[in-house]
């Protein structure tokens, strides 16, 4: 991955119109756009087309966290990859190595195929709630998930900034870490447990920071994006 950290803006507003209005304000910046469950279920493929119409150079991260039996995950990954609109999507690492390998095998010959990431531990987990589900500490298991992901041929992981450096040390510096739960300048954490600011993300070699509320809840989203880009 390139040494410069990338900004990925979460499009989490309650209507397509609000999201598109936000994107219009930041259309001149070199940023990625994250489209999640809510937006995609509501607005579909057309929303992706509308984003690219605003600026064809926008990169789109489709954050659907595919998690099913291997063949079903691969079917979905193939459809996403054939859109020609998505630059990155993700799956759940806890689906297992067979599922991740099946996804990568299915899309390997598709021209301009997207990057694929795997989710290790959701940033809404603290250690106790994570351990209640997975019976392991979050740091240990997140790294194990990342190693499985790396060995499966996937491009990187979605993880907390707190795990990024350890994951790279156990895989490769080229293995992508994309980190949600970023509050660039120490803003309120909201429902996220493991949050970090920009200096911490840089120290831990994060490749992509995902920022939502500090941008779209701002009175001047364009200024916030500009400030973030100046600091990364």
Give CA angle at 183 (157, 204), nearest 5°. Answer: 45
Q: What's the start-to-end Cα distance of the chain, in Å?
A: 15
Cα distance between residue 202 and residue 149, in whole Å: 23
Cα distance between residue 149 and residue 190, in whole Å: 29
Active site (annotated) includes residue 82? no
CB 197 within 8 A of CB 184: yes
Q: Are strands 115-119 and 176-179 parallel, antiparallel or unpaired?
A: unpaired
Give CA angle at 144 (139, 150), nearest 5°. Answer: 125
Residue 102 DSSP symbol: H
Q: Which of 6, 34, 59, 65 is catalytic?
A: 65
What are the DSSP E strand ranges found in the chain? Answer: 6-10, 32-36, 59-66, 88-92, 115-119, 156-158, 176-179, 208-211
Cα distance between residue 5 and residue 231, in whole Å: 10
The structure tokens 């067979």 sit at 98
Best CA proximity match to 208, nearest among 228, 193, 222? 228
Which positions are annotated as active-site residues? Answer: 65
């Amino acid at each position: 991955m390139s040494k410069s950290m990338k900004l990925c803006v979460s499009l989490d507003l309650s209507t397509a119109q609000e999201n598109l209005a936000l994107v219009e304000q930041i259309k001149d910046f070199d940023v990625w756009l994250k489209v999640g469950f809510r937006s995609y279920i509501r607005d579909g493929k057309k929303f992706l087309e509308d984003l690219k119409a605003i600026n064809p150079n926008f990169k789109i991260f489709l954050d659907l966290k595919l998690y099913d039996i291997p063949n079903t995950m691969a079917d979905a990954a193939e459809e996403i990859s054939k859109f020609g609109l998505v630059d990155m999507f993700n799956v759940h690492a806890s689906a297992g190595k067979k599922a991740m390998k099946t996804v990568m095998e299915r899309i390997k010959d598709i021209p301009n195929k997207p990057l694929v990431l795997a989710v290790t531990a959701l940033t809404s987990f603290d250690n106790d709630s994570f351990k209640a589900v997975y019976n392991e500490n979050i740091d240990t298991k997140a790294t194990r998930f990342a190693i499985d992901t790396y060995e499966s041929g996937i491009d990187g992981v979605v993880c907390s900034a707190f795990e990024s450096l350890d994951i790279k040390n156990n895989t490769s510096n080229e293995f992508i870490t994309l980190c949600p739960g970023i509050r660039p300048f120490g803003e309120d954490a909201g429902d996220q447990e493991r949050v970090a600011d920009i200096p911490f993300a840089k120290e831990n070699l994060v490749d992509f920071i995902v920022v939502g509320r500090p941008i779209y809840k701002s009175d001047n989203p364009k200024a916030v994006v500009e400030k973030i880009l100046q600091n990364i």
